[in-house]
């Protein structure tokens, strides 16, 4: 089962996850990071950037794969995930931009972009740690309900609910692309460690379904129950619909080593 860790702030979640990533990079200077976009991972990137500023380590060999990309936005559009990951992670962390890859969102290449991306992940030796947020639909990556647990990087159609959620980054919902390229649930399952973060009560149903619900493609986040090494970091609001809270707290309080 997933290790479930409770935090009282997004900053505390960021500190925990950043410490784990920093330690990974120290052990493996060319570590492969799986990078989510959106609001949820911002505290992780901010904490890691602060840690690297206070006590620098060499990150020049770190590699990264973004989870997803909109189809049809030019790469230099401010809301393309290429732009977002550059702004939120590559620049603040001082990563080498040429080592950070994003799925291709060019409509001309969507039939082959997924397989090409999968080949690059395999050639890199796989993802060491995958940072994940979760959508209100229960999606991880942009694997909307019904996505196969065996799915690999491919084009997906975003639900109206997800487009409405992401409309905050665009002038209107009509400007939110309908399609995306996303790592599949099968791709995510291949990463060696998953760190899923969620904050706020609007994520409570999705977290309960992911951590404790039936394993079903109707709740794509439940794919984490099939993975041997998952850390779920949640605030009290996002954790509010979990049943086994006492056990998670007990396990965390008695963990034989510090950190995640
Ligand atoms: C982002 C991604 C999505 C988001 C999810 C939550 O790369 O793949 O699964 O993590 O939509 O978004 P936020 O964090 O903005 O609430």
The set of residues, in sequence order, having a beta carbon less than 8 Å from that of 54 and lying 6+ positions away, is none
**Separation of alpha carbons 63 and 58, rounded Å:** 12
CA of 142 from ligand 1 middle (Å) equals 8
Which pLDDT belongs to residue 193?
A: 98
Going residue by residue through the chain, which has 260 residues, state the pLDDT in tens, using 9 for 90 and above.
899 999 999 999 999 999 999 999 999 999 999 999 999 999 999 999 999 999 999 999 999 999 999 999 999 999 999 999 999 999 999 999 999 999 999 999 999 999 999 999 999 999 999 999 999 999 999 999 999 999 999 999 999 999 999 999 999 999 999 999 999 999 999 999 999 999 999 999 999 999 999 999 999 999 999 999 999 999 999 999 999 999 999 999 999 999 99
Domain spans, the chain: 3-7+30-40+59-253
The token pair that represents 205 in the structure block: 């149903």
Q: Is the CB of 220 under 6 A from ligand 1?
A: no
CA of 50 from ligand 1 middle (Å) equals 23
Question: Would you say 72 and 174 are in contact if contact means Cβ atoms under 8 Å apart?
Answer: no
Domain with residues 3-7+30-40+59-253, CATH architecture: 3-Layer(aba) Sandwich (3.40)
> Which residue is associated with the tokens 């790469």?
75
Question: Would you say 94 and 53 are in contact if contact means Cβ atoms under 8 Å apart?
Answer: no
Please give the number of the atom of ligand 1 that sits closest to the Cα of 139: 9
The pick from 10, 36, 182 for probing ligand 1's pocket by mutation, whose C-beta has the most ligand atoms within 8 angstroms, reads 36
Question: Would you say 136 and 144 are in contact if contact means Cβ atoms under 8 Å apart?
Answer: no
Question: Which uninterrupted H or E stretch holds 225?
Answer: none
The arrangement of strands across the sheet holding 193-198 comes to: 3-7, 230-235, 193-198, 129-132, 32-35, 63-66, 100-101
The set of residues, in sequence order, having a beta carbon less than 8 Å from that of 110 and lying 6+ positions away, is 71, 104, 155, 179, 181
CA of 37 from ligand 1 middle (Å) equals 6
Q: Is the CB of 67 under 6 A from ligand 1?
A: yes
CA of 133 from ligand 1 middle (Å) equals 5
Predicted TM-score of the model (pTM): 0.98
């Amino acid at each position: 089962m997933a290790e479930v860790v409770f935090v009282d702030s997004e900053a505390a979640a960021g500190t925990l996850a950043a410490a784990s990533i920093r330690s990974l990079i120290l052990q493996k200077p060319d570590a492969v990071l799986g990078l989510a976009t959106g609001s949820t991972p911002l505290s992780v990137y901010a904490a890691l950037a602060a840690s690297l500023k206070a006590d620098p380590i060499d990150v020049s060999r770190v590699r990264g794969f973004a989870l997803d990309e909109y189809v049809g936005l030019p790469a230099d559009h401010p809301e393309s995930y290429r732009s977002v990951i550059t702004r939120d992670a590559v620049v603040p962390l001082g990563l080498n931009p040429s080592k950070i890859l994003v799925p291709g969102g060019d409509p001309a290449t969507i039939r082959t972009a997924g397989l090409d991306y999968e080949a690059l992940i395999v050639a890199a030796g796989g993802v060491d740690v995958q940072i994940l947020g979760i959508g209100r639909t229960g999606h991880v990556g942009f694997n909307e309900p019904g996505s196969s647990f065996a799915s690999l990087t491919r084009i997906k159609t975003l639900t109206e609910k997800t487009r409405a959620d992401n409309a905050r980054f665009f002038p209107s919902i009509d400007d939110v692309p309908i399609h995306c390229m996303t790592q599949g649930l099968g791709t995510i399952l291949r990463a060696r460690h998953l760190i899923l973060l969620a904050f706020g009560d609007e994520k409570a149903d999705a977290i309960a379904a992911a951590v404790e619900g039936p394993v079903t493609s109707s709740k794509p986040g439940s794919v984490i129950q099939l993975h041997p090494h998952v850390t779920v970091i949640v605030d009290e609001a996002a954790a509010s619909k979990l049943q086994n809270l006492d056990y998670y707290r007990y396990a965390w309080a008695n963990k034989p080593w510090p950190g995640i």
